Amino acid sequence: MSKERRTIARWMLTLLVAGLTASVVIFTGTRVAKAHIVPFPCDFTTGGGFVITDNGYHANFGLVGGCKHDGFFGHVNFVDHDETGEYAGLHVSSDSIDAYFEPAPGSNVRDICGTADTNLFGTVKFRARTEDNSDPSPGDGRGVDKFGLKLTGVSPPFTGISAVIVSTRVLAGGHIELHKPNPSNTGPSTPPDEITACGSDDSGLGY
């Protein structure tokens, strides 16, 4: 191989290594950005109100969730007042809170996950997404906080079937509050597995 060809070969190898390194950095960065982690220091979220479903009906919710004494605590309740859709009259009431995640690091978005009873689909795993953006308007009670809900069936014949009941959207009324950490807001030493705790990933839920 001539000196000129050896030089070109070295340049190509350098470019290839640089390209692979950049790809690894980009890929790793994407994974970190999408990582669902337990907040540290951990905190807790409270909220209640209603959203307008895709069919134009009210869906009410009330919730509290977060870390406490090396574990998780809380409760989530949801009632869909839709009279015509496939989720008409759906009532979700949590039995356990199995995880509390920060899906977008550095944001005010939190996911409360756990197991719940429903009147339509039996036992389910759930992921309730909240976003605290500001206090409601004193004029009409509207704010820019957000709420969304995704369920995954545990009971036959719905086992393993996931559905976004309400994609994450601005509240039509009510308020969500992300509270500052206090000394009791400590999570478990071993973080929970997201899919086990929530039943599925957050695809379709949105922000």
pLDDT in tens, 75-119: 999 999 998 889 999 999 999 999 999 998 899 999 999 999 999
Q: Give yes or no for a contact between 125 and 170, defined as CB atoms under 8 angstroms apart.
A: no
Query: Per DSSP, what are the bridge partners of residue 115?
Result: 96, 125
Mean pLDDT of 14-35: 36
CB atoms under 10 Å from CB of 204, counted, come to 13
Q: Determine the Cα–Cα distance for residues 47 and 144; give it in Å rounded to an integer.
A: 13
Specify burial of residue 207 (Cβ count, 10 A radius: 0-12, 13-18, 19+).
Answer: middle
Among 28-37, 97-106, 130-139, 150-159, which is the least confidently predicted range? Answer: 28-37
SS3 76: strand
Residue 44 is inside which H or E element, if any? Answer: strand 44-52
Position 143 scores a pLDDT of 62
Mean pLDDT of 61-76: 98
Burial 166-191 (b: 16+ CB within 10 A, else e): bbbbebebbbbebeeeeeebbbeeee
Q: Determine the Cα–Cα distance for residues 80 and 88; give it in Å rounded to an integer.
A: 6
Q: What pTM was computed for the model?
A: 0.81
Q: Determine the Cα–Cα distance for residues 169 and 148; give it in Å rounded to an integer.
A: 6
Max CA pair span of the chain: 80
- C-alpha 96: how far from chain center: 16
Mean pLDDT of 163-182: 96
Q: What percent of the chain has pLDDT over 90?
A: 74
**Between residues 18 and 181, the one the model is more confident about:** 181
pLDDT at 141 over 80: no
Position 69 scores a pLDDT of 97
Q: Determine the Cα–Cα distance for residues 59 and 90; give it in Å rounded to an integer.
A: 9
Amino acid at site 58:
H
Domain boundaries along the sequence of the chain: 1-34, 44-198
